[in-house]
Structure formats: C-alpha cells, structure tokens
Structure 1
Amino acid sequence: MTSNQAVFPEVDMEQPAAKAPKRRPVPLHLIAILTAFATLGVAAIAMAAPASAATNPTPASAPADPGQTTHVDIHMDASLGGLNFGSITMQAKLGTTSYSASSTIRTEGITDHLFKTVYNLKTEGTRGSKQMQTAKYYSFSHSDDDKQQVDMTYGPNGLPLVAAQPAYDNSARVTATARHLKNSIDPLSAMIVPVATPSAEACNRRIPVYDGRRRYDFVMSFERMSPLEDRKGYSGPAVRCEAYLRPIAGYKRKSIREMRQDPMPITVWLVPVEGADALVPARIEVSTPIGRMVARSTRFTVSKANPSQAALSGQ
C-alpha cells in the first residue's frame, strides 16, 4: 500500500443505499457549506485548487437521440439565514436514450464581498435504468484570484479520463482507485434521477459521484411525499429526500474522518419533468450553525421538441 492509498473500507456499489446516520452539527466554515451544494452539482468544484484555462480534449459525444427531447429550464435563488447568497440556473435536454445539461452558479449579495465566485458546468451522456451515465463533463470556476478548469471523458470501460488545469496535486490525498471510479458520474448528472414519478424509489439510492478530483457517494433516503408550492417556480407533486455526502477518495484523510463523523444534513425535493421520465431538484436545503441555506426555484419551465425541430434550432 502506497503512502497516499486509501485506508478506508472500499464501498460495495451493489449494496442498497443505507439510511443516513444520525446527524451532527455541520462544521462552521464556508467550504463545508458549499460542499453540500456541490453534492448535486450546483457548485461542483467549490473546493478545487486555483487554476487557469486549459485546452479542451475532443472526446466522442453521446449518441444522437432519435426520440422526442424534453427541455427543462430551472432558476433557483439561494439564501443563507434569510439573506441573498447566490443563484443557480440549470438547463437540460432529456431524450429517450441520452441527455445533456448545463448549469451556472454565482455568488451574490453579501457573499460577493467574502468570496465572489462563478461556476460553469456542462455534461452529456446516456440514460441508464438506475442513473445517468456521463460521456463527458466540463467545469470551470473563477473568482477574483483563482481559476480552475476540468475536462472529463468516460471511456467504454466506464472509467474517466481527466484533464485539469492546473494539474491537481493529490500527493496528500487518498488515492481514487479504478474500483472507486468505474461507472461513477459527474455532479451535474447526479441532479437527474431517471424515475418517472416522485416516490420512495427515487430517494432510496446511492449515487457514485466524481468531479475530476474528489470521489464521494451522495446517499439519499426517503423521508416523505411533500408537494411544493413555490409562487414563482415549481408547484406540484414532489418527494422529499434526506441526504448526506460520504467521501471516498480525493480528500485528505483527516477530512474524510471528519466528514464521515459529521455528515452534512441535506434535504432535497425531487420533482417530475413532465414527459421525460426523470426527476430533478426544485429545492435544496442545508442546515448550518449560522442559519438555513435554501435554494428555491423561482423559474421552472418544461418544453418539448421532436428531432427535426431540434435540428433546425441547432440543439
């Protein structure tokens, strides 16, 4: 065993998702708070190292989808303790066999005076029966001083090839093995659950997530059916899931121990995208010692296009 190899038990991906352990207080630091949103791809590289722009590799795209495509456009406003914290937008195209999505996350309000940051994420891949499967993923973050770009491509063997600029220094972090990474998916794809209607089935799952550096499981369990009524956003049926992040690799050993001892409590409301046989988050909440962080939909629109319309519009 090398000095930076994992010293924690390997995760059996075939085992059903377990109930979230008893919750403890969330660590009081902003990176931990942002990590909770990273879990669902709304700030997927919040803990990334400083970086600069890189050359984008040219992997093969996901196969063209012959069926009707459903488009969903979501905007969320995020608040912390009742104060404006930032905004999240997500646009996704969901076909019968493939999908693509993009998201922009930006800090706003008082947060801009502390750590002004913008995240841009893109993904595409194929639909599986239990989860989406990434074909390629791109993320770029920038703040006043730092930049980070990650390009990730999944090969036919289910393993990702990562190009990060600047290159990550993982010498002090637990090594992610091929077993950890095989058939993992990116954080943005983890936002899309291939289940037609809100149900316990949608919640009771463990999603193996990899952002190009960190490998973690997003473990969800069913709490209750809980319809949403957001005046400007989504209103309708929803399932409320309890969730937490379980770090696997790509973190420092001390961080893994602390995060496993004090898993951050996350609540996610999954709602249906009509006609797409898929669910996406319409609200996310994270309890913190300095207040509740809430990302609530203020726009939620769904439209459809057949293959010929998509071709004409260049989509």
Structure 2
Amino acid sequence: MTAAAVVALASASARADVLHATYRVSLIGLPIGAANLNAELSPKSYSIQADAKLTGLARLFANAQGASAGAGEIVAGRVSPSTFATIAASSNMTRTIRMALQGNAVKGVDIAPPFEDKPDRIPLGPRDEQNVVDPIGAFIFPAPASGPILSPEVCNRKIPIFDGYTRFDIDLTYVGERSVKAKGYEGPVVVCAFRYVPISGHSRGRVATKFMADNKDLEVWLAPIESARMLIPFRVSARTMIGTTVIEASEFRVDEEQIR
C-alpha cells in the first residue's frame, strides 16, 4: 500500500541530491507520530516519497497512517508538478487521491472512495484548478537564481495549493534565521511565518477551518539543499485546537548520486 508506485522521476540533470529525512511529531511536547521523506532533487526536477503514522499512546485513540508521493520540474524558478498521489488509512476507511497536472493546471483527479457531497461545501471556482501546486510540490522552495540561498525572498511568497478536493493558499513572510542540528545537517535555516487562507472546497462555517484561517501561530523552518538551490521544511509548528503540534527533523541527510 504505497502512493510512490504511481510516481516516476523525470530529470534532465546528470546528478541529483538525495535527501533522507526523518521527522518526529509531537503535540504539546508529547510524541505522537513519525514521518519519513525521501527525495531526489536537482535544480530542474524533484521526486518525493513520504509516509507518516501515529505512534505510542496516540495509536490508542486513532490508528492512522498514510503515504504521499509527487514529482515535477522546476521551471523558471517555479515548481511545476506532474503527478501527485496520497493514501490515508485508519481503522475505519482507506482513501486514495491521485492527480495529474501540467503547466500548473490540474488535468485529472481520481478520489476513491469519493468524499461525501456536503450542501455547505464552497464549490470550486472556474480557476481554482489552475496556477496551483499539489501538497508535495508545496514542500519545494526554489531559491533565487543568484545570491544567498537563505534570504527573505525564500519566504516572501504565496503558495497556491490544490489537494484534489480543496483549494487554499499558504501566505508566507520572512521572520529570520536560526541554527539547527540533526543527524546529517548542522547549520542555518530560514524561518517563515505563514497563514492559511481557505478559498474553496471546504465546508462553509466549519469551526476548524475558521480557527486555522485566524491562526497566527504557524511557522516553518527551511533547510537548504545547496547544489539543487532549493530549500525543504526542517520544522513546522502549528497551534491547533488541542495544542501546539511540532514536526521536526531528527535526521536530514543529503547524499549525491548519479541518475539517468
């Protein structure tokens, strides 16, 4: 059961950085989960496979796990996805979402089983599946073509995301830099605050959506992948309705390998 099987790497580069990252997930300081990310990254392309699951005591309340994968190109400093797939499983149900994109426009979506059609759902607009990236593509932060790879320009952007069902923006602003240490990486990261801006596909008046839209306690730390001239999240923290959740890398190792 993996979404990675639907993704193929398309790269014009002779070499790629291979990132192996392990993340610990905590809620109000208590460990509740773990995630792994493996990615092939070059200045012109990316391919990412990730999985996550609840661990420890959290499994007593919800036995949930999932996997996602995505691939695409970097065109003129912009992420241009081609494929995205995700599968989420709980004790009650397993759902798979597959999406094809071209030129930052959605070409096809398959959701099985489909979401229940709710009368208060805000319908997608005619342009909500255009000029977007998928959730995996949103992990890629291309650096400016020249100058320092860590800079305010990395943060000061808006990411338009479509996940196959809902359309939203992530609006980032620069906060500063910090130093981090994990297995495989010790050095600076750029810190961005971000806001969640729901646009369509969500239920009108849903309490959790309004809470996140009003939430000012959202932050992401980005670590550099030097030769690929891009950055990848090292740490994400978010205040939720039940406490602050932190996802932070315990390993962030970059290798280099020959690719076709």
Instruction: Indicate whether the TM-score tops 0.5.
Output: yes
In the TM superposition, what are the counterparts of 1:174-193 in structure 2 within 5 Å?
A: 174-193=122-141
Equivalent of 1:136 in 69, 83, 86: 83
Do 1:284 and 1:294's aligned partners in 2 also have CA atoms closer than 8 Å? Answer: yes
Match of 1:27 in 2: none
TM superposition shift of 1:96: 3.0
Equivalent of 2:58 in 111, 118, 125: 111
In the TM superposition, what are the counterparts of 1:43-122 in structure 2 within 5 Å?
A: 63-122=10-69
Find the aligned partners of 1:283 and 1:250 in 2 and give their Cα distance. 27
Find the aligned partners of 1:288 and 1:158 in 2 and give their Cα distance. 31
Kindly indicate whether residue 159 of structure 2 is the aligned counterpart of residue 207 of structure 1: yes
Match of 1:250 in 2: 201
TM superposition shift of 1:58: 7.8
Give the alignment's Cα RMSD to 1 decimal.
Answer: 2.6
Match of 1:228 in 2: 180
Match of 2:170 in 1: 218
Kindly indicate whether residue 252 of structure 2 is the aligned counterpart of residue 300 of structure 1: yes
Kindly indicate whether residue 229 of structure 2 is the aligned counterpart of residue 277 of structure 1: yes
TM superposition shift of 1:142: 0.4
Do 1:68 and 1:96's aligned partners in 2 also have CA atoms closer than 8 Å? Answer: no
Partner secondary structure for residue 13 of structure 2: coil
Do 1:175 and 1:249's aligned partners in 2 also have CA atoms closer than 8 Å? Answer: yes
Do 1:246 and 1:259's aligned partners in 2 also have CA atoms closer than 8 Å? Answer: no
Find the aligned partners of 1:224 and 1:143 in 2 and give their Cα distance. 38
Find the aligned partners of 2:6 and 2:243 in 1 and give their Cα distance. 43
Find the aligned partners of 2:79 and 2:236 in 1 and give their Cα distance. 20
TM-score of the two chains, using structure 1 as the length reference: 0.73
Find the aligned partners of 1:119 and 1:57 in 2 and give their Cα distance. 14
Kindly indicate whether residue 189 of structure 2 is the aligned counterpart of residue 238 of structure 1: yes
Per-residue CA shift, 1:177-233, capped at 9, x if unaligned?
Answer: 231220211111101101161211111111011111111101111111122234x46
Do 2:19 and 2:255's aligned partners in 1 also have CA atoms closer than 8 Å? Answer: yes
Do 1:155 and 1:161's aligned partners in 2 also have CA atoms closer than 8 Å? Answer: no
Find the aligned partners of 2:218 and 2:76 in 1 and give their Cα distance. 25
Find the aligned partners of 1:107 and 1:119 in 2 and give their Cα distance. 10
Do 2:179 and 2:188's aligned partners in 1 also have CA atoms closer than 8 Å? Answer: yes
Structure with the bigger percentage of helix: 1
Do 2:225 and 2:231's aligned partners in 1 also have CA atoms closer than 8 Å? Answer: yes
The 1:290–1:150 alpha-carbon spacing in structure 2 relative to 1, beyond 3 Å, is closer
The 1:290–1:252 alpha-carbon spacing in structure 2 relative to 1, beyond 3 Å, is closer
Find the aligned partners of 1:104 and 1:57 in 2 and give their Cα distance. 13
Partner secondary structure for residue 190 of structure 1: helix
- Runs of 5+ consecutive residues of structure 2 not aligned to the other structure: none
Do 2:26 and 2:246's aligned partners in 1 also have CA atoms closer than 8 Å? Answer: yes
Structure with the bigger percentage of strand: 2
Partner secondary structure for residue 144 of structure 1: coil
Find the aligned partners of 2:234 and 2:114 in 1 and give their Cα distance. 34
TM superposition shift of 1:297: 1.0
Match of 2:94 in 1: 147
Match of 1:23 in 2: none
Find the aligned partners of 2:115 and 2:184 in 1 and give their Cα distance. 38
TM superposition shift of 1:62: 6.1
Find the aligned partners of 1:121 and 1:92 in 2 and give their Cα distance. 12
The 1:289–1:58 alpha-carbon spacing in structure 2 relative to 1, beyond 3 Å, is closer
TM-score of the two chains, using structure 2 as the length reference: 0.88
Find the aligned partners of 1:299 and 1:229 in 2 and give their Cα distance. 9
Aligned AA for 1:255? Answer: R
- Runs of 5+ consecutive residues of structure 1 not aligned to the other structure: 1-52
Aligned AA for 2:199? Answer: I
